[in-house]
Structure formats: C-alpha cells, structure tokens
Structure 1
Amino acid sequence: MMARGRGSAIGGGSLGVVALLIGLLFLVVATRAPVAGAASYMVGDYGGWKFNVDRWAKGRTFRAGDLLVFSYNRAVHDVAVVNAAAYRSCVVPRGAKVLRSGRDKVKLGRGTHYFVCTVRGHCQAGMKIAVRAV
C-alpha cells in the first residue's frame, strides 16, 4: 500500500502556499512603496485652474511623486509647463509643453515646477503657479 502525502511539490502543502502568497504580497508592496505616500492635489481646489490661482500653492508642502490635477474648461484655458523666466514674464517659449485636455495630470519631480495659461492676458491675471517639490 502506498503512503499518502499531505504536502505538495511546491513547498510543503498549505504552509508553502501561504509563504508564496506572503512573498508575492511583499513584492507588490515593495515595488509600490515609493508612490504609496504620494498625494494628489486639485490645483485651485474646487474652483480648479482659474484666475488668481497663483497664491494657491503658498503654504503647501509638495513631495516628489505627488500629482497635480488641473481641471478647467478646455475651450477657454490650457496649461503650459514653462521655466522660471517664462513664469515671471508670462511669455511662453516655443516648444513649451502645452496641455489641453481640461483634466491634465502632472507628476512632480524634485525641484520647482512652473505652469501658466497661454491664453492672452490669463497669465498676467494670475493664472499661473509655481510649485516646489522636495
């Protein structure tokens, strides 16, 4: 008569399956850890990307990996990613990345990021932000 085994060839029965599942869970958590603490911010809060939004970022702490969400009417606004000089002057250089979906998402890296609306007069009316991520 043959002896019946209770284990499996993979790792010792249910204990092996549990160890395998714990290992997979650890792998998933470990690979997602850098973004686990990331936050998402609606630029301008409930009012969205609008005039006089330039003060919105003051007093907020942003971290690399955080997400900025620009919500606006795409028929009348846009969002350009610019440098410090363009931010100060409200003159968008050729080749600047311009977002136009009306619900743009930008993941922050370390450093200061500058955004303006390219529609004539909007940047001058405060439709711009500078965000520093640590």
Structure 2
Amino acid sequence: MAAAAAAAARRGRGSASGGGVVLLCLVAAALLMEAIPAAEAGGKTYYVGDAAGWGRNLDWWLAGKTFYAGDVLVFKYNKEYHDVAVVGGKGYRRCKVPRNKDTVVLRTGYDQVTLRRGNNYFICGMPGHCDAGMKLAVKAW
C-alpha cells in the first residue's frame, strides 16, 4: 500500500510539474508576443506623402513615425512625370540612379516597397527631380 501511495504521489507530482512547464511556456510566449512590434508580425502600410503622394521635401511626412522591417511604403505619383528608384546611400547622396543589374526603378504610379532592416533610400530618377528634393531616406528597425 505504501508503494502504491508513493507511486501515486510521484505521478501527481510529475503531471503537476509537466502542467507547470506548459503553463510557464504559454506565459513566456504571451510576454514575447507583446514585446514584438506589430510591424514584425505583419507590417504596417504607409502612403508616402499621405494624400499629396510622392513628392519633394518629405521631411514633414517622416516626422514622428517609426518604421520597422516589413512595413510597406506605397508611392503614389503621376507616372508620366516621376518614378521611384530604390538606391543605396551613395545614389541617394549624389542623386544618381546606378546603372547596374541590382538597381530597381519602379514606374507604375502606385508602387509598394517592403522596408528592410536598416537604411532604405528612394529617389525620383527623372532629371533634376532628386536635386530638387524628391528623395526619401527611411530607417527601419
């Protein structure tokens, strides 16, 4: 009888600790989900320049926003006059669209770009437009 009681106690203790481990894992997972920014979970969509669209001098539009990898920028513009070139820091600073196989130039008038972690640079590749301020630098966390 004592052996049966001891075995029952061990089974009880074992299942209680197993349940405790599961509960602890669930609590840890819930806390982790709260710590992950919403953008990581699915990304937020931003319309560049809001209702005005892709244009010059967009520092006002960037103010107060925090971007995350996975967020999507939507560039709306008149495709007859503008485009969106995804460039590196050098192309951004020089207002030059590199002529290589890795350069992406979008021309639909409604382009969507998913941000990658780090600095993301965009310029209008039409002559003189970037120099006139039609460029955007976005840091994504």
- Relative to the length of structure 2, the TM-score reads 0.67
Deviation at 1:56, TM superposition (A): 2.6
**Alpha-carbon distance between aligned partners in 2 of 1:132 and 1:69, rounded to the nearest angstrom:** 16
- Relative to the length of structure 1, the TM-score reads 0.70
Query: Which structure shows the bigger proportion of residues in helix conformation?
Result: 2
Partner of 2:127: 120
* 1:1-134 paired onto structure 2 within 5 Å: 36-95=41-100, 96-134=103-141
**Alpha-carbon distance between aligned partners in 2 of 1:91 and 1:74, rounded to the nearest angstrom:** 19
Q: 1:54 to 1:34 in 2, by over 3 A?
A: closer
Report the RMSD for the aligned CA atoms in angstroms. 1.8
Q: State the percentage of identical aligned residues.
A: 56
**Alpha-carbon distance between aligned partners in 1 of 2:125 and 2:46, rounded to the nearest angstrom:** 21
**Alpha-carbon distance between aligned partners in 2 of 1:41 and 1:114, rounded to the nearest angstrom:** 15
The residue type equivalent to 1:121 in the other structure is G
**Alpha-carbon distance between aligned partners in 2 of 1:56 and 1:129, rounded to the nearest angstrom:** 10
Q: 1:93 to 1:81 in 2, by over 3 A?
A: same
- Report which of the two structures shows the higher radius of gyration computed on alpha carbons: 2
Aligned length: 102
The residue type equivalent to 1:77 in the other structure is H
